[in-house]
Amino acid sequence: MKPFRLSLTETLKLLRERKISPLELVDEYKNRVKEKEGNIDAYLSFNWNEAKKRAKELEKEERDLPLYGIPFAIKDNILVKNLPNTCGSKILENFIAPYDAFVIEKIKKYGGIIIGKTNMDEFAMGSSTENSAFKVTKNPWDTERVPGGSSGGSAAVIASDMALVALGSDTGGSVRQPASFCGVVGLKPTYGLLSRFGLVAFASSLDQIGIFGKTVEDTFYVLNLIQGYDERDSTSLDINYNKIQPFGGKLKIGIIKEINKFGIEDVIVKNMEESLKALESMGHKIVEVSLPNIHNSLPVYYLVAFAEASSNLARYDGVRYGLRVESGNLKTMYTETRKAGFGKEVKRRILLGTFVLSSGYYEQWYLKASKVRRLITNDFEEAFKKVDVLFFPTSPTLPFKIGERIEDPLKMYLADVMTVPVNLSGIPGINVPTGVYNGLPVGMQIVSNYLEENKIYRVALDLEKSIPFERKL
């Protein structure tokens, strides 16, 4: 079997037994990228020279490094020193990262190799990767369809075997939803478990770095290595970071009573029922729970996210870094720079976010959304008193066609309806591929309480085992 078809643990075994060298593995992935990238358009930049240099260095080092020679792809809003960091935007087109993000420091320390930066919706604002200023990434299962977003490039490189592991960011589902669309595993940990130092901010109270892998085991293996307290991130959890292991016993799995309000396609409902039967046959108990405020998640999420985005993106003004459009005076320089540098969706979110924070509207919109966010979090807390995890589809639909929703923002926002409640509450969730319908992948989402990734781990492993999923790309 080709090395790029193997999982992380299988690849590590080959590397440690010297059946393949880190340099040979990098070359294998480079050839694979040459073969597939032209049709998928998942990468924005490459790091082949440095990757080969690092691979040669690793051949002289200890092979027991936990990520020895493993090729990573990184979403282009996570800083990798001396590589471009565009955030998919013209306003940062020529920006070179001056330092490594915390998670990148960890990857490099443990022997991982960065091979490139992946495409994304501009500043992580989108659900299809069509909002990138540079290219539209295609779904490897059907190149006429979107890979999901905003981390569509990272999901696509795993689905097409153009990287072994990829990092993305998840603000409202941007790891889990593209993982579902591309038939790969996508993990969003508890908010604060992974440092956001070096992740370019979209909505600070929602953003979380996540992991794409070929298997459940791969994603948790990487999570255990890159988690940890970071004093440079004020939201980083200062806790005793133990290795996350799968929960030892059988669990109560909750299904949401209100799930029929989300307009889920029939094939996905059928897949959910089949997946639950498989888990029940393995000894887990299925319990219905109510989340009475979950139907408010989408409007609450977009009010909060837009408000935080309008504040975070104020720094892109042409003064300190990024694009500058020279003009007659300072005010017009600001205006012309932002006009030229930002795309349509980013401008829309800045304008709406500024509006909901403005005098006279703050209490009516942002403050009210913040209160309902608390109610949604309370609902999750009550549910987890009755069950160990919640189980529901990651996306209400199969991957949609390129161009189908891009001119209808409200329809596009509905792609996130199943994922945003998790970000509002800061709890962890994972997408596990569970089927293929009409040649397109379907994924199910497993969600647990704060810092109970071990329960997600257990159910995700059992689901993966009980419903074999073969990638035929």
User: pLDDT digits over 417-473, tens only?
Assistant: 999 999 999 999 999 999 999 999 999 999 999 999 999 999 999 999 998 777 656
3-state DSSP helix/strand/coil % of the chain, to nearest 5: 45, 15, 40
User: pLDDT digits over 106-155, tens only?
Assistant: 999 999 999 999 999 999 999 999 999 999 999 999 999 999 999 999 99
- Tell the residue number behind the tokens 């600070």, with chain if given: 204
- Distance CA(112)–CA(12), nearest Å, equals 11
- Tell me the two tokens of residue 55: 């691979």
* Cβ neighbourhood burial of 400 (10 Å; 0-12, 13-18, 19+): buried
- Tell me the two tokens of residue 424: 């509002």
Q: Tell me what the mean pLDDT of segment 344-355 comes to.
A: 97
Mean pLDDT score of the chain:
96
How far from chain centre, in Å, is Cα 29?
Answer: 22
User: pLDDT digits over 316-328, tens only?
Assistant: 999 988 999 998 8
- Tell me the two tokens of residue 110: 């443990």
Contact 94, 133 (CB under 8 A): no
Q: Tell me what the mean pLDDT of segment 402-419 comes to.
A: 94
Q: Tell me what the mean pLDDT of segment 34-39 comes to.
A: 98
Question: In degrees to the nearest 10, what's the CA dihedral of 230, 236, 238, 243?
Answer: -80
What are the residues whose beta carbons fall under 8 Å from the beta carbon of 231, sequence distance 6 or more?
A: none
Domain residue ranges in the chain? 3-250+391-466
The residue type of 143 is: T
Whole-model pTM: value is 0.97
* CATH code, 3-250+391-466: 3.90.1300.10
Catalytic machinery residues:
75, 150, 174
Q: What's the pLDDT at 473?
A: 64
